[in-house]
Amino acid sequence: MEQIINLLNYTFIQRALICGVAISMCAAIIGVILVLKNYSMIGHGLGEVGFASLTLAVALDLPPLSISLPIVMVAAVIIMIISQKRGESGDIPIALVSTGALATGIIITSVSTGFNIDVANYMFGSILSMTKIDVIVSIILCIAVLGVYMFFYNRLFMITYDEKFAKARGINVVFYQFLISFLTALVVVLGMRMMGTLLISSLIVFPAVIAKGLTNSFRQLIIISSIISVTCFVLGMFVSFFLNLPTGASIAGVYIVLLLISKIVNKIF
């Protein structure tokens, strides 16, 4: 406990905790809808798009986030357009976009300077490099996501469980689907620094999957998923510090352990 208190005195630890808690909560809340709508792999797909955009930013010597954010948002829109126009299931457009993005990123890397510390940090995560701007943006994103769910809860509930009924009630389903995709893109871009492009999807998928085994209520699913996400982040972060392990992998490991425990408990009871 004394070691934990000492760690909390460092500014970079405080920034990491604030950013991590905010992003984890956002990812969990958005993840509930994505998992229920069979878009659970969109985080992984957009993470690979993020990798491609990062390699482009490094090759052009431009700020990573200024390139990644618009590209990942465009990719999220493309995924939604393919799903809406073609009537494809969620995983198909995600696979198409992510595979193309990953191939593009590898090509850019091979013809430029190759992998460097910036690309590696975003691929595997470097939570201790969070800046004051990251903290501010993460808090704004968290407030925005919570605001969307508070003001549009009933509509999001209907869209998640019955799109046809929602359309019959006059709800603009497409608008809210694109809104969720935009928020997902923001979470992915901000979370890449923390979890890395390879593991960002774990923040979105695991909390909702674990929570589904505990409740059938949409409201409770959001609350429990958020609690699980924040708890696993904090545990994973301190595990990584004390055992000198990668932060993103440690957080994902805590999720896996909790998922296995939840499955065993459900089998027993």
Q: What is the pLDDT of residues 93-149, one digit of tens each?
A: 777 777 888 788 778 777 766 555 566 666 666 676 777 887 888 888 888 888 888
Pairwise CA distance, residues 128 & 26, whole Å: 20
Whether the per-residue pLDDT at 258 is higher than 90: the answer is yes
pLDDT at 256: 93
Which of 170, 169, 175 is CA-nearest to residue 148? 175
φ, ψ of residue 56 in degrees (nearest 5): -65, -45
Domain extent for 95:
2-268
Domain tally, the chain: 1
In which band, very low, low, confident or very high, does the pLDDT at 246 lie, cut at 50, 70 and 90? confident
Number of neighbouring beta carbons within 10 Å of residue 100: 15
Cβ atoms of 48 and 54 closer than 8 Å: no
pLDDT at 259: 92
Across the range 62-86, mean pLDDT stands at: 78
To 10 degrees, the CA torsion angle through 101, 106, 112, 117? 100
Pairwise CA distance, residues 152 & 131, whole Å: 32
Pairwise CA distance, residues 194 & 2, whole Å: 25
Across the range 242-253, mean pLDDT stands at: 85
Q: What is the CATH number of the domain that holds 50?
A: 1.10.3470.10
Whether the per-residue pLDDT at 76 is higher than 90: the answer is no
pLDDT at 120: 64
Pairwise CA distance, residues 193 & 133, whole Å: 13
In which band, very low, low, confident or very high, does the pLDDT at 210 lie, cut at 50, 70 and 90? very high
Tokens 């699913």 belong to residue: 221
Q: What's the pTM value of the predicted model, to 2 decimals?
A: 0.85
Q: What percent of the chain has pLDDT over 70?
A: 88
Within 74-225, strands assigned E span none
Q: Position 3: which residue type?
A: Q
Pairwise CA distance, residues 242 & 198, whole Å: 23
